[in-house]
């Protein structure tokens, strides 16, 4: 049984971190290093206690820095970190080959049996299918046969044509597409550089992806939650695209840049997701929805499989188009340079990433959580929320999530529904 005593009231105030900077001086706080983990994490003590890092198993390759859309919420182009401006538009051959060599070395050293390569951007299809094919061939030749390699791509789908899908199918690349629900909601945010909506192009591409000949290429949909949209209309639109998976993401926000909320709606994001959860759960889960599956899995004692919940160690690195080895790029939404490690694939071994405080902080589970999080009964399910959402100027990343109240309400709601069904099944089992 799920113990209702563990339930908590999500209606109370969420403790905000002490920002440690005077009013009007937030920019100054951003220029200073975040105290946690960079000044406060005791790595020597961690190692003395027996902790060891988790090798990287997912490599996000920024093969093209530019994009053919101008989405207004994009954390790469619209946030505090503008490092993309100083990087090559396309990943040069020497960087690509250095990345492949480094991945092969990492796989051999740690005897990895499975890794994932994600082709990312910007818009990765701008890199060109011939260069993508060359990269994949280089990876397959550079990684030992004992290691299975999964290739994925996250695209806005504007360039996703039938010939492109044929080529991607031949290359074994699984494609995830970003789409934000119905046409009006999608086109409000996801526009071309000329300001025109992209929904028609995305819908055309998804019509191809859902056809039987390309289903092997279809990885799923990524949708950013917007409380201003109708959650059921959004969900039904995504459902109509027949995806194998839907990934709902909270917009990247933190204590310096709080989430935008409708007036009088302190848990607007949870309310939106709960409406979708009820429709999905009552229908028996017609397709996978990652955030719901993750919460249910964590409530039942399983591990987490995404960055939005749970405490499983993050085993991800980003290789930028200039070869810079960086932390997950959602951190660009916090402050300029937040992703940086000072390492580059042209000069540094990947194992050096595993010594970086920012990488270690995302692998140590409960030890990365704030005291307020640790006092919360559901902290092992929530996991403190997405790491980027915990940021506050000066104090850094050891705070509650800026979505704390939303996470509490969503998790407790799913908990109650799951508990009711478990109890009902237990009664039937005794009959």
Q: How far is CA 376 from the centre of its chain?
A: 23
Dist. CA 152–CA 119, nearest whole Å: 6
Helix, strand or coil, per DSSP, at residue 142: helix
User: What's the chain's average pLDDT?
Assistant: 91
pLDDT tens-place string over residues 19-58:
433 333 333 333 455 899 999 999 999 999 999 999 999 9
pLDDT tens-place string over residues 384-429:
999 999 999 989 999 999 999 999 999 999 999 999 998 888 766 6
Q: Could you tell me the pLDDT band of residue 11, with boundaries at 50, 70 and 90? A: very low
- DSSP state, residue 417: H
Dist. CA 245–CA 222, nearest whole Å: 9
Per-residue buried b or exposed e for 313-344, using 16+ beta carbons within 10 Å of the residue's own CB = bbbbbbbbbbbbbbbbbbbbbbbebbbbbebb
Q: Could you tell me the pLDDT band of residue 59, with boundaries at 50, 70 and 90? A: very high
- For the record, the structure tokens of 62 come out as 């920024």
Average pLDDT of span 101-109: 98
Q: Give residue for tokens 């390309």.
A: 214
Q: How far is CA 46 from the centre of its chain?
A: 26
For the cut 80, the answer to whether the pLDDT of residue 16 exceeds it is no
- DSSP state, residue 410: H
Average pLDDT of span 226-250: 97
Lowest-confidence pick of 66-70, 172-176, 316-320:
66-70
Superfamily of domain 54-367: Aldolase class I (3.20.20.70)
For the chain, give the percent of residues with pLDDT over 90: 84
Alpha helices in 64-192 (DSSP H): 93-110, 129-142, 162-171, 183-189
Q: Give residue for tokens 């209309």.
A: 233
Helix, strand or coil, per DSSP, at residue 324: strand
Torsion angle defined by CA atoms of residues 126, 127, 131 and 132, in that order, rounded to the nearest 10 degrees? -80
For the cut 60, the answer to whether the pLDDT of residue 67 exceeds it is yes
The answer to whether 254 touches 207, Cβ cutoff 8 Å, is no
Average pLDDT of span 250-265: 93
- For the record, the structure tokens of 35 come out as 């105290």
- For the record, the structure tokens of 117 come out as 């390569």
- For the record, the structure tokens of 41 come out as 């994490």
User: Of 98, 91, 79, which Cα lies nearest the Cα of 124?
Assistant: 91
Dist. CA 356–CA 327, nearest whole Å: 10
pLDDT greater at residue 1 or residue 274: 274
Residue 78 makes CB contacts below 8 A (sequence gap 6+) with 71, 72
Dist. CA 171–CA 49, nearest whole Å: 44
For the cut 80, the answer to whether the pLDDT of residue 316 exceeds it is yes
Cβ neighbour number for residue 352 with a 10 Å cutoff? 14
pLDDT tens-place string over residues 148-202:
999 999 999 999 999 999 999 999 999 999 999 999 999 999 999 899 999 999 9
Q: Could you tell me the pLDDT band of residue 304, with boundaries at 50, 70 and 90? A: confident
């Amino acid at each position: 049984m799920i113990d209702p005593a563990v339930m908590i009231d999500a209606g109370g105030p969420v403790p905000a971190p002490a920002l440690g900077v005077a009013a009007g001086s937030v920019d100054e706080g951003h220029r200073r290093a975040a105290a946690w983990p960079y000044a406060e994490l005791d790595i020597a003590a961690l190692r003395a206690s027996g902790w060891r890092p988790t090798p990287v198993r997912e490599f996000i390759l920024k093969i093209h820095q530019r994009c053919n859309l101008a989405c207004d919420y994009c954390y790469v182009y619209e946030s505090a970190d503008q490092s993309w401006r100083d990087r090559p538009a396309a990943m040069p051959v020497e960087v690509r080959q250095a990345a492949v060599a480094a991945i092969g070395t990492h796989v051999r050293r740690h005897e990895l049996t499975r890794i994932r390569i994600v082709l990312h951007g910007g818009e990765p299809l701008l890199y060109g299918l011939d260069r993508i094919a060359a990269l994949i061939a280089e990876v397959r030749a550079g990684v030992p046969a004992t290691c299975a390699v999964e290739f994925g791509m996250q695209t806005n789908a504007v360039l996703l044509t039938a010939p492109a899908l044929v080529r991607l199918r031949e290359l074994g690349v699984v494609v995830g597409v970003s789409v934000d629900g119905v046409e009006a909601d999608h086109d409000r945010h996801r526009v071309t550089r000329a300001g025109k909506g992209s929904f028609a192009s995305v819908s055309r591409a998804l019509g191809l992806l859902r056809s039987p000949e390309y289903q092997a290429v279809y990885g799923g949909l990524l949708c950013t939650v917007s409380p201003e949209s109708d959650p059921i209309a959004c969900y039904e639109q995504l459902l109509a695209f027949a995806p194998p998976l839907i990934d709902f993401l909270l917009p990247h926000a933190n204590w310096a840049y709080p989430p935008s909320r409708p007036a009088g709606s302190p848990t607007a994001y949870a309310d939106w997701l709960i409406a979708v959860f009820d429709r999905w759960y009552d229908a028996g889960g017609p397709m996978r929805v990652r955030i719901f599956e993750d919460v249910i899995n964590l409530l039942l004692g399983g591990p987490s499989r995404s960055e939005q919940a749970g405490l499983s160690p993050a085993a991800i690195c980003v290789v930028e188009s200039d070869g810079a080895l960086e932390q997950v790029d959602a951190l660009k939404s916090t402050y300029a340079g937040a992703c940086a490690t000072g390492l580059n694939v042209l000069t540094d071994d990947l194992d050096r990433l595993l010594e970086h405080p920012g990488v270690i902080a995302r692998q140590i589970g409960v030890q990365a959580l704030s005291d307020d999080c640790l006092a919360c009964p559901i902290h092992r399910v929530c996991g403190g929320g997405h790491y980027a959402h915990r940021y506050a100027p000066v104090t850094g990343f050891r705070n509650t999530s800026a979505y704390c109240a939303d996470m509490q309400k969503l998790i407790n709601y799913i908990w109650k529904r799951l508990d009711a069904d478990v109890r009902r099944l237990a009664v039937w089992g005794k009959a």
